Structure 1
Amino acid sequence: MAYWLMKSEPDVYGIDHLQREGSTLWDGIRNYQARNFMRSMQIGDRAFFYHSNTKPPGIVGLMEVVETQIVDPSQFDPNSKYFDPAASLQKPRWDCCRLRYLRHFQQLLSLDALRENFSPEQLGVVKRGNRLSILPVEPSSAKRLLELLESP
């Protein structure tokens, strides 16, 4: 099982939305590196839900990958902000996966707290200027994150 960190703005799609829906397509990814990370996900992988572009940003919950290798339907919808006129049904450019809600954490683990506990080499989200919406999390860092998030 691999671990990931996946960012979303809470006012656009937050952990509470996911909890209400139970699962969601994680669509709208329009960065090739983030797309490639998503393409390497496997069913059963876990993802830390990170609220971005909010004060304070940080990890708020945990999700599980339940379906992979899904063609992102938003790329074909001309009314979607994620529409890609270069994509076609014969040659789609963007993928997505389905994630299932697992839980909220008792408290947010803020970006400042992450920076206090991890180097940029240990956890990519703490690297200044890192704007990728999907990042891999090394097993040792995932273990440490879970310890920090589950402690009182």
Structure 2
Amino acid sequence: MAHWLVKSEPSCWSWDDHVRKGTEPWDGVRNHQAAKYLRAMEKGDRVFFYHSVTQKSIVGVLEVVRTAYPDPSDPSGRFVSVDLKARDALPRPVSLAEMKADPRLEHLALFRQSRLSVAPIDDDAWETILSLAAAPSTSSPPGKAS
């Protein structure tokens, strides 16, 4: 099983939107590298849901339930969609700043190719991010509960 990350602006499509719908197509991707990653996804792969722009944090886990098929929103027929099912919210969001501060994650495409809306996550990074989500936040001011 492979792991991935997808990004969306919460004002356009949020984790809560996806949870309400359950299973939805991940469509509208027009970057060739991101589309290549969509084509590589297999049924059962797990996917982090990342809120970009305002929140800049991973907030949940999705599952690939349908592999690549022609994106109905693409009249050219060059791009694909996959269907993603909402699985679990993370115990707490893992912020971009927190991930950048962790040397185990410095290799992530999320940092090197920040404009990509779909990117791979290796197994070690997946487990690291899950462990960060399970740990108390380190970004709260002293004396404040997280």
TM-score strictly above 0.5: yes
Tell me the equivalent position of 1:20: 20
Structure 2 unaligned blocks of 5 or more: 137-146
The normalised TM-score by structure 1 is: 0.84
Q: Is the 8 A contact 1:3 1:137 kept in 2?
A: yes
Residue 144 of structure 2 corresponds to which residue in structure 1?
Answer: none
Corresponding residue of 2:72: 73
Shift of 1:143: 1.0
Deviation at 1:57, TM superposition (A): 0.6
The percent identity for this pair of structures is 38
**CA offsets 1:4-29 (integer angstroms, 9 cap, x no match):** 01100111000000100001100000
Alpha-carbon distance between aligned partners in 2 of 1:103 and 1:17, rounded to the nearest angstrom: 13
Pairwise CA distance, 1:70: 1.3
Q: Distance in 2 between matches of 1:52 and 1:60?
A: 11
Contact 1:114–1:126 (Cα < 8 Å) also in 2: no
Following superposition of structure 1 onto structure 2, how do residues 23-102 of structure 1 map, counting pairs within 5 Å?
23-54=23-54, 56-76=55-75, 87=76, 92-102=77-87
Alpha-carbon distance in 1 for matches of 2:95, 2:72:
33
The aligned length equals: 135
Per-residue deviation, 1:125: 1.1
Displacement after TM superposition at 1:105 (Å): 1.3
Q: Which residue identity is paired with 1:120? A: E
1:3/1:46 contact within 8 Å kept: yes
For the residue of structure 2 that corresponds to 1:108, the secondary structure is strand
Aligned residue in 2 for 1:148: 132
Structure 1 CA distance for aligned equivalents of residues 106 and 14 of structure 2: 25
In the alignment, the residues of structure 2 paired with residue 141 and residue 57 of structure 1 have an alpha-carbon distance, to the nearest angstrom, of: 17
TM-score (norm 2): 0.88
Two-structure CA RMSD over aligned residues (Å): 1.2
- SS of the counterpart of 1:53? coil
| CA apart distance, 1:2 | 0.5
**Correspondent of 1:107 among 92, 114, 128:** 92
Give every structure 1 segment of 4 or more consecutive aligned residues whose post-TM-superposition deviation is greater than 3 Å. Answer: none
Q: Distance in 2 between matches of 1:43 and 1:72?
A: 17
- Which residue of structure 2 aligns with residue 80 of structure 1? none
Distance in 1 between residues matched to 2:50 and 2:18, nearest whole Å: 12
- How far residue 126 of structure 1 moved from its aligned partner, in angstroms, is 2.5
